[in-house]
Structure 1
Amino acid sequence: MRILSGEDVRQAISMKEAIAVTANAFVQLTAREAALPLRARIELPHHEAVSLFMPAYLAQSQALGTKIVSVFPHNPTRFNAPSIYALIALFDAETGRPVAVMDGTYLTALRTGAVSGVATQYMARADTHVLALFGAGVQARTQVQAVCAVRPIREIRIVNRTPARADDLIELLKTDGIDAAIERVDNAAAALRGADVVCCATGATVPLFDAADIQPGTHINAIGSHDPRMAEVPAATVARARVVVDEHAAARAEAGDILQAEAAGLIDAGHVLGELGAVIAGSVAARTRPEDVTFFKSVGVAIQDMAVAHRVLQNAAARGLGVNVTL
């Protein structure tokens, strides 16, 4: 069995490769070539935290495994530590033998960025140049990396409630080689003025911006909320937009942005056009006109983790990364 550290995972796969394998995973899901149970949750209310247990199987890729992830949103301020920790276990799909355990913390950020990259590739206008980003954590960094991998972004505006963290992210993005003008913006309206794509990567429980500030033609990715009580995007924006989700059952259980718009009577269950895999396969048209507002809502599903982790393991084995152990 191969043990892979976070640094091994970083060396084993690029964002562009993660985007490609993620797109393929969602096509398999929509084609019913995947097993994806709803994740199990353990709530830790005293810490406002949750641990999630996320198994999945991709038949075409022969990727079988599970991720365990803990989300402790107060870690950055209380302990100067990441809000998300995770590990992934992979198994041989023919024998069930455990073949790998790897750090899932960086991989979670990578795969979450990758799905926004896929959605942006298939839903945003081709002439997308300005990105408005809400959030400045680990997830925010990979959102930028992914969007810049699929669209010629020239300008990035970052909004975060802690300005110093936004400034830190700007420096990290420069080290990533992001070839765009990057600035911290103090209010949402200014960030959204002229924005072509919006990425929401926060733990917000209330919308991050006013619905009126979203301009025609905008594409929105929202990946931060994963609970019916959470919403990053205003209900009126959800009602206005052409909406695509990562997976129907998961969205019905956890996508607060959509569920709250439905509870307010602004949409019904039929408002969601379909899953991302159907958009990739061409059976659902997410954007029909340049002026359409499109909205991709992701609560995060385990096929993303298994697809990326499976490729990481393949690449790591080929490059001699990690440590082999016998249990």
Structure 2
Amino acid sequence: MRILCEADVERLIEPAAAVAAMRDAYRRHAVGAMPAPGRLDLGRSTPKGSVLLLAGHSDGASFAMKANMHVYPDPGSRQRLAASMMLLWDAVRCVPEAMIATTRFNNHRTAAGLAAAVDALAPARVRKLALFGAGKIAPAAIRYLLSVRGFKAIDIVGKGSARASALADALRQQSSFSGVDIRASLDAEACAADADVIVTLTTSDTPVFPGRVVRNGALVVLAGANRPSAREADDDLISRAMVFVDHRESCVQRAGDLCIPLQSGVLSPDRIAGEIGSLLQPATPARLDANAVTVFKSMGVIGQDIALAELVVSRAEESGVGIEFDPVTGHCEMLQAIQSSGSTDAVMAGAK
């Protein structure tokens, strides 16, 4: 069994390969090769915290179990600690293949999935990206989105100016963002009105921008607030949008952005055009209306975790990275040491 730490994972993931893995995951999910995961949510009140357990398989070859934990150690503070681990099994030989530290992995997985969707749904020529949310996934999201579209300007919209400004400053200091006009803003309406692509990564309970101002032909990616009672988009946007999802069942049941307007009648089921994986099938070319607003709602699918884990483990084996551990004999062998390049981490640290 290969054991991979956070630094190993950070160096083994390369954006283009990760985006390709997400395309593959969406396709495999859409044809039933990656069924919906088993899911268990456990919470506690003292200290406040929760753990989300996900389990799933792919093509009969891999089986994965992932645990995401969140804890608020200080009852008087909103500061949250988060950690994640995944166990990847060889489902044919019934042996554990890898144990992977997935706290940073999760950022790559989410960002790469959003980039794959933007690559499939956004106009080929775009100028401005508006990103709502300046949290832990935002730096990776911007990096990955720039890998699929040549944005010339990026507006980062946060609840307050401090975090969004810190992130914008940190990104501007990175050579990979040279030539891109990156700014922090508190004007949600102006940013939404001027954007070719809008991506939301917030925990908001209520819509974060007025949908009436979104221009025809724009793409809106809704990737946050994944609770039945919460929504990032209002009725004005949803009522005129062509909607794609990553997993129809979970989105219409657990995503407030869709289940609320479905219940009210603002959104009819036939206006959900389909799953992104179906759109990515070779025999199914995209048929998008350039005069309509396109919405992609992402809840995430376990296939994304499996596809990226398979990529990471394959690269680790090729390069001899990690720790090799025999769970039967207890034999442990340290392989090549790897140090994080710090590209994404440096941006995130600078934005704290």
What's the TM-score once normalised by structure 1's chain length?
A: 0.92
Aligned positions of 1:211-290 closer than 5 A? 211-281=211-281, 287-290=287-290
**Structure-2 change in CA distance of 1:241 and 1:172 (3 Å):** same
The alpha-carbon deviation at position 78 of structure 1 amounts to: 3.4
Matches within 5 A, 1:202-213: 202-213=202-213
Q: What secondary structure, in the 3-state scheme, does the structure 1 residue paired with 2:265 have?
A: coil
Separation (CA, whole Å) in 2 of partners of 1:135 and 1:203: 8
Give the superposition deviation at 1:285: 6.5
Superposition pairs of residues 17-96 of structure 1, within 5 angstroms: 17-44=17-44, 50-59=50-59, 62-71=61-70, 78=77, 84-96=82-94
Distance 1:241 1:48 in 2: 38
After superposition, what is the alpha-carbon deviation per residue over 1:90-147, rounded to whole angstroms, capped at 9, x for unaligned? 0012112111111111111111111110110111111112000001112112221121
Unaligned runs of 5+ in 1: none
Q: Give the AA of the match of 2:42.
A: I
Q: Which runs of 5+ in 2 are unaligned?
A: 328-352
Deviation at 1:282, TM superposition (A): 5.6
Cα offset, 1:72, TM superposition: 5.4
Distance in 2 (CA, whole Å) between partners of 1:98 and 1:150 is 34
The alpha-carbon distance between structure 1 residues 222 and 44, as it changes in their structure 2 partners (threshold 3 A), is: farther
How many angstroms does 1:227 deviate by? 1.3
Instruction: Assess if the C-alpha contact under 8 Å between 1:247 and 1:301 holds in 2.
Output: yes
Shift of 1:46: 6.9
Change (3 A) 1:79 1:6: farther
Please list the CA deviations of residues 293-313 of structure 1 after superposition, one character each: whole Å capped at 9, or x if unmatched. 111101112111111011101
1:171 positional shift? 3.5
Aligned residues: CA RMSD = 2.3
CA contact (8 A) 2:207 2:233 kept: yes
SS in 1 for 2:225: coil
In structure 1, give the amino acid aligned to 2:12: A
Change (3 A) 1:99 1:116: same
Q: Which amino acid aligns with 1:250?
A: S
Task: Kindly provide the amino acid, as one letter, of the partner of residue 237 in structure 2.
Answer: T
Give the aligned length: 324
Residue 137 (structure 2) aligns with: 139
Matching residue of 1:101: 99
State the structure with more CA Rg.
2
- 8 Å Cα contact 2:160-2:186 kept in structure 1: no
Identity level (%): 27
